[in-house]
Structure 1
């Protein structure tokens, strides 16, 4: 695949990013479009390795490596290198319903498993993927696909995030009548309200929503199942139901001062910020960082998005706290290929903060012990202590030891908790009377069936907090199982059936 000696001739070229000091002045995407010639050179680096771990999504040491939707990566790399863009698009769309999303916001576990990455920079798989789908839209190759037949079967999907949308897309193409119920005023779930516009422009999301509706999928907005319409009514009206509500119940930080004003969950902040940035909502000063000292607690992507958002809102200062160690700059021996590379990266928000403030804003091995407040009940600061991460003799088990006399106080007018999600919201699961397992819907991967006949679950609602690409995988595979349930056998593709 690609040019036989391409990985030796060409270096990795990264997508050009807008200047950090300029891009924080607006909400536009921070990455520029990759020129076709650059994309073709990068496709040439795919080395015909014969062991494309990049295409095989799995988990090693608790982290995803390879592509969970089993993208035919070497094939479309080769086609792009040869300038066969439409053929590359056809191959890409065979496995991924929404490459315009994954090409922008997926952490690219495929690149960590790239064979070139053993001793060099990985092939620019994510950038190539985005270039293919963007070119497809630009050239008009992507048009509504009307199903060739209708089965007369009906399916309700609860939630319009990536799992719900991919399941809907697959089932619609199989000929079923699909209705998506979404409680918000826009469809897209996490894609719309959980990811800032500078990472994923909402016009890109809406373009796909419009396309799905043009293909015959019905999307009912501003409708919360269990409140605006009962679960019983849904079950009576449809032949099958898929729960794709996501894992929207956040982990809390129950320490002294948690009740103070100005301490918020990160997703509440991001949702409001997205609404403000796209003009869906007036500015709420309580959930806006303008002129405030902001502290983000949590080291993941959500925390990084909070940092970037606060900068654009005009925060006075921003700091981010992580209990974990800072990752090394190169792979450790215990983190060998093809495991996901646990190495230090400078995310877009951190790069912007460093440019603006002149220093790194992340603090590692630090624990927040209490929130401090004003007499009026609003947060004014944090009290923290340092914690050392200690490995056992085999470097496996990790324990934390507090560092004596390491207490510090930090000014804070807005604190954002970005420490993950514990599972799906209880009310909807109770309404459908489905069993749960550690906060998620109890449904075996590969079957996706709940304890209720005809009711399925997919995405974060089933597996817990995870990647968008896993949500797409689960939506596709759950659709296969629902199609089989409704028709006795399925015409949809699957990689899980024996």
Structure 2
């Protein structure tokens, strides 16, 4: 019987990889989850029920063939498991680490619904690909034949790099432009090492470079090179800039020293982990050490900030969020990790203003949840007269990101955007209003997940290839 190793969820309990204890893990930026041992990965993969309609696969933005690679892992056929896993996913080891599996594949696992505890899909995915790297199964890209056409990609985040991978494998000449000094986008400078260690990202970037992808770094489009120049240089252009403009915090005293943006705080911390010189960190401006830190926001960026502040040696870390735990956008798993590490969540609160310059306190308004709004979520309402002041030496605003005004910045008024400033692109092909220009990821979707950017990048890569095969189509699109 080939599949005797499967359907073991009634006999084998769900076990996630060991998590390092909070008192140890808060002293460094190493990942907090250990790796499965081979037999444990096989045993946990074998809990999959191989159901007829795999909801895990349906609810995965990449439609990864999860049941098949779980079965191959359970049978010890790891190289085949890796081949199946990377057939649909450009960066499985990154998704295995940072996808909110609790909201996607694992949250829709049939045996989870039946009360047996979900299959630990993310941990097995990470195990498969980490093993593949260790064993040398991850091969550099070697196109069967080179093509003369070239594609320019603006933005070296997950969307741009996923498209670069697809195009390069087909032999297309690919140049990726990015404003930062390292590729990877938020995977490099936004997400902390305890969720995604940086060598994991750098290794993928090296693989793309080895495969012939050209990276042009420290290159700010609109300043160092014009958008028109890029269009003139390449047969097709893909915009994958992400969204980096921080949503402004509007309250009296917001301009005080010590009130900082999440992206600046996280980037400084990640740069330190690379050994870069970061004057703003060394001066204490972007370091939480010895400070009472208040983070404002409830998304995954806020979770990254509170957990980073703990590791930097903050004396206390509080997170203010205007709704309650149930209505929080961030991953519940991250909230639990943060609480274990000593973060205090203050639900149903919002800042009304800041005292002192440099900041010494946050004037906090207490909220309650009122009637549901248009989306069905209950809207927070202020409880009058319940304000209090929370002492703080550093306030980090993590209210999300918005699109920069690219048509203005790039002198491309005919590039159509939505009322939110995101680029308008076709749903399936990702083509924009400009001929020969496509767009993917957060600059189209608004702030979203890495896995959606990878899906967009892969789809756009395929659409661009189809257009290059029919040059008349590029002119038409």
TM-score category, normalised to shorter length: over 0.9
CA deviation string 1:230-270 (max 9, x = no partner):
11211111011000000111211111111111111101110
In 1, the alpha carbon distance for the partners of 2:426 and 2:259 equals: 36
SS in 1 for 2:88: coil
Which shifted more, 168-177 or 282-291?
282-291
Q: How does 1:45-444 map to 2 (within 5 A)?
A: 45-56=47-58, 66-108=59-101, 109-120=104-115, 121-282=117-278, 283-327=282-326, 346-353=335-342, 361-373=344-356, 377-391=357-371, 396=376, 398-426=378-406, 430-433=410-413, 434-437=415-418, 438-444=420-426
Q: CA deviation at 1:70?
A: 0.7
Q: Once structures 1 and 2 are overlaid, which stretch shifts more, 233-242 or 272-281? A: 272-281
Q: Is the 8 A contact 2:222 2:409 kept in 1?
A: no
Contact 1:369 1:383 (C-alpha < 8 Å) held by counterparts: yes
Aligned match of 1:24: 26
2:474 corresponds to: none
Aligned to 2:445: 463
Q: CA RMSD in A?
A: 2.2
Length, aligned pairs only: 461
> Could you give the per-residue CA deviations for residues 338-396 of structure 1, whole angstroms, max 9, x where no partner exists?
xx998676443332115xxxxxx0011111111111xxx32111111111113459994
Partner of 1:295, secondary structure, is strand
Q: 3-state SS of the aligned residue for 2:147?
A: coil
Whole-Å separation in 2 of the counterparts to 1:367 and 1:346 = 18
Distance in 1 (alpha carbons) for counterparts of 2:11 and 2:409: 55
Q: 1:397 to 1:245 in 2, by over 3 A?
A: closer
Contact 1:2 1:77 in 2 (8 A): no
- Contact 2:253/2:355 (<8 A) preserved: yes
Contact 2:300 2:331 in 1 (8 A): no
8 Å CA contact retained: 1:304, 1:347: no
Question: SS of 1:286's equivalent?
Answer: coil
Aligned to 1:44: 46
CA contact (8 A) 1:225 1:428 kept: no
CA distance in 2, matches of 1:113, 1:380: 45
Taking the aligned partners of 2:185 and 2:331, their CA distance within structure 1 comes to: 28
Which whole-Å CA distance do the structure 1 matches of 2:373 and 2:143 have between them? 59
TM-score after normalising by structure 1: 0.89
Q: Does the CA-based 8 Å contact 1:328-1:343 persist in structure 2?
A: no
Q: State how far apart, in whole Å, the 2-side matches of 1:430 and 1:467 are.
A: 26
8 Å CA contact 1:328, 1:342 repeated in 2:
no
**Structure 2: runs of 5+ lacking an equivalent:** 472-477
Pairwise CA distance, 1:429: 5.7
In 2 relative to 1, CA 2–45 (structure 1 residues): closer, same or farther, beyond 3 Å? farther
Q: 5+ residue gaps in structure 1?
A: 57-65, 330-339, 355-360, 490-498
